[in-house]
Amino acid sequence: MDVVLLSRLQFAVATMFHFIFVPLTLGLSLLTAIYETLYVKTKDEDYKRAAKFWGKLFLINFALGVVTGITLEFQFGTNWSRYSEYVGDIFGSLLAIEATLAFFLESTFIAVWVFGWNRLSPKMHAACIWLVALGSNISALWILLANGWMQHPVGYTIRNGRAEMTSFFQVVTNSFGWLEFFHTVFGAFVLGGFFVLGICAWHLLRKNEVVFFKKSFQVASIFTLIFSLLLLFEGHFHGAEVAEKQPTKLAAMEALWHTEKGAPMYLFLVPDDQHERNKIALFPIPGLMSFLAHHSFNAEIKGLKEWPKDERPPVSLTFWSFRLMVGLGTLFILLSLWAFLRRQNIEKERLLLRILPWCIPLPYLAHEAGWIVAEVGRQPWLVYGLMKTSQGVSPISTLQVGFSLPAFVILYTLLGVVDIYLLVKYARKGPEKVENTSKTEIVFPKTVTTY
């Protein structure tokens, strides 16, 4: 394997492992804020306990996510220095804003929230976790605007052999980046929702803290259904954006080799990259692909053979990853609707309670599949239409990357084991017990002193 492939593998390992933590951070921070707000409004102690319980799991996940995120950013210097040199004027400025604005907002108010119980008023304390949730999502925004620029570069000019920013406004209003942001955060909220639903279901099956977990479940079921549906609608608009801005990715997502008007969508298809055709193509729905991409059943969709071989993305991996993401997204709508409809008597819905804990990993798979579509489907471009991946790698030896890649895998595996162990341990433990707030009055006998 050459240094380009090894560097791509190393960045993929770092990115996909880091992204195990990111969506749960986004989803749990918002849910924790909702639970604490409900406590402030209702004075129901169960919602306060919910904020503490889910907040503890959020903190565990956040701490390990920070560690993996730092090593990820270092790779722009170690493995992708030519890329950083070429587009650092644009890409670096967005990451700098993320670090100085969003990350410090998030990390500062996490500390205030953790140590502020019984020191701040309930409203001020709830405001802290909302600022944490806001900081987390702003952080995601700037990172995804940076990635959106790589997917669809705007607001730049080539000067002195580098891409230099000419319009900050065009960069931060890039529609591709904003659609990526909403697609990612809606998916993160769905993941956070299923994380809560699964843990609640596990406890409700065992009749642990039934009242507490039923209240948590009811809130999470509404939350998850809302964002599952929003994710469906946003995904349609995002797909149309891909069709316009990245036609090669669209063709790979649907394994379309030849240009067609009124392109169908096949319910079952097996692509063959090697022979540039499809092995099996069954049950076509006429014009559906054209309609989803361009809102017209007769629209023309360009096939992969319109581009040279060295400008086509890998088809099979992009195609199956897209199918996995969409299939799981559909399943999430059905499950969250079931949970929503049965939320009032969820402790009696034992089949659903048995299913939900096993569903916790599924949103993670959907997220990883989505990122494979986004990044593998962009190949061979590092910056779409501007810089190829092979041009951005650092001038380092294969041996150097070959040594660091296994080290990353081992380190991340250990961190993953620690994360899963801690999350499982405290999720099973459940919320802290209700404190006995009754006060025992101590009466001292009166002493009569005679002088």
- Each residue's pLDDT tens digit, 8-35: 888 888 888 888 888 999 999 999 999 9
**Amino acid letter, residue 295:** H
Lowest mean pLDDT among 51-65, 150-164, 422-436: 422-436
81 pLDDT higher than 50: yes
Closest CA to 115 of 105, 123, 125, 127: 125
Residue 276 CB-half CA count within 13 A: 11
Q: What residue spans define the domains of the chain?
A: 3-246+372-429
Per-residue pLDDT band at 375 (split at 50, 70, 90): very high
Which letter does DSSP use for residue 262 in this model?
Answer: S
DSSP code at position 154:
-
Determine the 3-state secondary structure of 377 from DSSP. coil
Q: Residues of 387-408 as b/e, b for ≥16 C-beta within 10 angstroms?
A: bebeebbbeeeeeebeebbeeb
Q: Return the minimum-mean-pLDDT range out of 72-76, 117-121, 216-220, 353-357.
A: 72-76
Comparing 181 with 64, which gets the higher pLDDT? Answer: 181
Query: What pTM was estimated for this model as a whole?
Result: 0.91
CA distances for 369 relative to 80, 177, 240, 374, 408, angstroms: 23, 18, 19, 9, 21
Specify the 3-state DSSP secondary structure of 133: helix
Cα–Cα nearest to 192, from 355, 62, 374, 338: 62
pLDDT at 20: 86
pLDDT reading at 449 higher than 50: no
Query: Is pLDDT above 90 for 183?
Result: yes
- CA–CA separation, 386 vs 154, rounded Å? 11
Q: How confident is the model at residue 435 (pLDDT cuts 50, 70, 90)?
A: low
For 284-332, write each residue's pLDDT tens digit: 888 888 888 888 888 888 989 999 998 999 999 999 999 999 999 999 9
CA atoms 425, 431, 433, 437: torsion sign: positive
Task: Select from 219, 209, 174, 201 the least CA-distant residue to 27.
Answer: 219
**pLDDT single digits (tens) 216-270:** 999 999 999 999 999 999 988 888 889 889 999 999 998 888 898 888 888 888 8
- Helices 122-151 and 81-97 pack at an angle, to 10 degrees, of 150
For a pLDDT cut of 70, what percent of the chain falls above it? 96
Q: Report the helix count and the strand count for the chain, using DSSP H and E.
A: 15, 8
User: Is pLDDT of 202 > 70?
Assistant: yes
Angle, helices 315-341/361-376, rounded to nearest 10 degrees = 150
CA distance 234 to 389: 29
Burial 203-237 (b: 16+ CB within 10 A, else e): bbeeeebeebbbbbbbbbbbbbbbbbbbbeebbee
The better pLDDT of the pair 78, 448 is held by 78
Q: What's the mean pLDDT when you consider all of the chain?
A: 88
Residue with tokens 């956040």: 62
pLDDT digits (tens, 9 = 90+) for 403-420: 888 888 888 888 888 888
| Token pair belonging to 400 | 């150097």
Note if the bond before 380 is cis, omega within 30 degrees: yes
